[in-house]
Amino acid sequence: AQKVTQAQTEISVVEKEDVTLDCVYETRDTTYYLFWYKQPPSGELVFLIRRNSFDEQNEISGRYSWNFQKSTSSFNFTITASQVVDSAVYFCALSEAESNYQLIWGAGTKLIIKP
Amino acid sequence: NAGVTQTPKFQVLKTGQSMTLQCAQDMNHNSMYWYRQDPGMGLRLIYYSASEGTTDKGEVPNGYNVSRLNKREFSLRLESAAPSQTSVYFCASSAVAGGRGTDTQYFGPGTRLTVL
């Protein structure tokens, strides 16, 4: 079974729409860490957020927000008022003790923002 | 402050050739990593170095060797390249020693390798 599932392979929206990227994870550990990274068309990987399992507060950074819900094992990412520059592949990743804290990556969601 | 740098950016090899991918970081980080990224997949860890002088296998180490030359540099070597090693290779580093994914990893720009 996949430990990090990003069920949305590709999402396409029109600029200024809000969009949510889903991430569902699986772990038996009580201490774990979750990450989101962005990979724009240029190819580099850009760190967006790191969250530990004890901090369930939602996070907002400008137009970006993250909703961490342990009850549903989800760590979803919302972009408000999307812009063309948000077009990228977004990866969710998990770090847990059972996997010796090596990063386990989801397959990524390709987000296309149309002008 | 360049962060994590990788050379070369692109490389084409013939089956059986060898090459070394170079990675350097200027953030005084203790841990360094090599990943590969294949189409439609997330990253997979090849090797990591939890601190200067140590290296450990990741998820997909076969066909690769690494050297942690010093605190700044971590190289990845393909001794006899195979078409299955066609991929994009990323180097990353993190501040904390131990090679733990608990700490944020910062990535280089990647090397696009094609093996014919």
pLDDT digits (tens, 9 = 90+) for A26-76: 999 998 999 999 999 999 999 999 999 998 888 888 999 999 999 999 999
Predicted pLDDT of residue A100: 74
The answer to whether residue A95 neighbours chain B at the CB level (below 8 Å) is: yes
Residue B93 pLDDT class (50, 70, 90 cuts): very high
Q: Report CB contact under 8 Å: B102, A44.
A: no
Q: Is pLDDT above 70 for A1?
A: no
The pLDDT, as a whole number, for residue A66 is 95
Give the residue, B2 or B51, on which the prediction is more confident.
Answer: B51
Residue B99 confidence class, pLDDT cut points 50, 70, 90:
low
Bridge partners (DSSP) listed for residue A69: A74
Question: Secondary structure of chain A in the HEC alphabet?
Answer: CCCEECCCCEEEEECCCCEEECCEECCCCCCEEEEEEEECCCCCCEEEEEEECCCCCCEEECCEEEEEEHHHCEEEEEECCCCHHHCEEEEEEEEEHHHCCCCEECCCEEEEEEC
Instruction: Quickly tell me which residue has 């195979």 as its tokens.
Output: B82
The chain-wide mean pLDDT, for chain A, equals 93
Interface probe for B, chosen from A94, A102, A104, A110 (most Cβ of B below 10 Å), is A102
Q: Two tokens at B14?
A: 């013939």
Position B103 scores a pLDDT of 82
A83 touching B (Cβ < 8 Å): no
